[in-house]
Amino acid sequence: MDLTGSSIVAGQVRKTAGAEFYSYNPSNGERLQPAFKEAGADLVDLAVTAAERDFVAFRQLPHSRRALFLEAVAEQLRVIEDQLVGRANAETGLPQARLQGELTRSVNQLLMFADFIRDGAFLQTQVTPALPDRQPLSRPDLRRTEVPIGPVAVFGASNFPLAFSVAGGDTAAAFAAGCPVIVKGHPAHPGTCELVGRAIVAALEQCGLPRGIFSLLQGGSHQLGAELVTHPLLRAVAFTGSYAGGKALFDIAAQRLEPIPVFAEMGSVNPVFLLPQALIEGSDSLASGYAESVTLGVGQFCTNPGLLFAPEGPELERFVSAVVEHLGNLGAGVMLHAGIKQNYHSALETLTVQPGVERLSVSAASSVAGGCLATPALLRTTGERFLANPLIAEEVFGPAAVIVACSSRQQQLQCAERLRGQLTATVHAAAAEAAPCQELFSILERKAGRLIYNGFPTGVEVCPAMIHGGPFPATTDSRTTSVGTEAIRRFLRPVCWQNAPPEILPPELR
């Protein structure tokens, strides 16, 4: 199908007089056709108004029909698979094999939610029967269910153009809950966004559903995001991206006359802790595993393990040398777009000039010029310096990591206590180190949403048990997840019916 460079509002391609922008191939700097147009306040209003108009019809569909719609979206994505992967490769520089895997993940997420909602058990209904003769007060009949909250805005992520974008996990969860979705596409891959948006429209037509339950707004301005979040008919926001972007949307939503929740996933340094015996027993394998995790996807994962804490001594020196060797064998990788490359270099430079921080490997800034290429960077500091300087704990989005040499077991625990909220936290321990491992995890479970034992955090399984979230600033709500079936809870709210006759109750409560 030919790209139009337009937004999609309630199933219709909408031309706009907004500013023109293009996507670029980060591998070679080529400007990609066509030109896209920035959506304005008029399209925001049309999209959210259409979503509110069709919300009642969508939420009242039998769960089986909503499930069929999710399956139809998955089917339509497979129909355009070759073109979709090709365009995503051109706009992001991500390898085709990685994008094929991401598309499969996107399809499986949709199918997972279809299965999850089909029998209605996700509503978690509860019935407390009346006790009219109870003394001193009778008890009414009380019945609890969950209802969709209304139109939801989803902000596409740059680093997952399929799995966290137009038909990604947030959209799948919102549709499964019965909420219309307005997607604000990412400006670095607008062609990919349009192709997926048109696949969703095709699924709506296939299922005979009202078109107002989906819109795609193209553009990259802060104003567009603010217009969307402040629209009075919008009921929630889902965001994956930087701390600055997520916090800005959170603040805007909180300042509305009627505040709404913003479920923002804003990144993490995903600390890794090595206990002494584990370091002795597995230094070489730990070094290779850590280097691979740090550089996976050119470090452009929110689960990238950017901090490692280990006891100082000869075993750590061997580990560090092995990591440096592994990183030195890796060439430059293509980052997603020029803005991410610039931010990586800037954050790396800020970290490098901190007192007591030593650079152990060549940085991307000094080894690669031009384009969107970056090479890995490994830095080192002490536990004392880490505890004294909060900047060392800041995320560097890219293939960089800091190794923190701790002078004692107590200092390692102090470093764990000093950490802010994280998506993940990892401990490597030998079998004989169960007690110190438990002591560390007792601290880290207050810091992170996923705790990993003898593994690495990159790679997030899509399943009911997964928690992809964590305390602030990793996310804006540590009680939720953006991956797995529990992600649906963000877009539902509980309602209790009291003494209602069966004929007016929702079907699941009769």
Rounded distance, CA 68 to CA 427, Å? 42
How far is residue 239's CA from residue 256's CA, in Å, rounded to a whole number?
Answer: 18
Token couple for 391: 């900047």
Q: What are phi and psi of 371, to 5 degrees?
A: 60, -160
Alpha carbon 216 to its chain's center: 19
For β-strands 358-359 and 377-382, DSSP reports them as antiparallel
Q: What are phi and psi of 21, to 5 degrees?
A: -145, 160
Beta bridge partners of 381: 404
Other Cβ atoms closer than 10 A to 284: 11
**Active-site residue identified among 227, 265, 395, 486:** 265
According to DSSP, the residues that pair with 448 across neighbouring strands are 422
Kindly state the tokens that stand for 253.
């939503």
- Distance (Å, whole) CA 3 – CA 191: 7
Q: Is 193 known to be catalytic?
A: no
Per the CB < 8 A criterion, the answer to whether 356 and 320 are in contact is: no
**Residue 185 near residue 161, CB atoms below 8 Å:** no
Q: Rounded to an integer, what distance in angstroms lies between the CA atom of residue 306 and that of residue 348? A: 12
- Alpha carbon distance 63, 116 (integer Å): 10
Angle, alpha carbons 185-463-493 (nearest 5°):
65
Give CA separation, 12 vs 8, 50, 98, 171, 271, in Å. Answer: 5, 11, 31, 19, 46
302 is catalytic: yes
DSSP string, 141-189: -EEEEEEE---EEEEPPSS-TTTTSTTSHHHHHHHHHT--EEEE--TTS
Consecutive H or E run containing 289: helix 276-295
Report the C-alpha gap between 236 and 229 in whole angstroms: 8
Contacts of residue 60, Cβ cutoff 8 Å, sequence gap at least 6: none
Closest CA to 484 of 508, 468, 503, 504: 468
Tell me which of 52, 193, 194, 302 is the catalytic residue: 302
Let me know: does 83 contact 171? Beta carbons within 8 Å.
Answer: no
Residue among 269, 332, 333 nearest 304 (CA): 269
Active site members: 265, 302
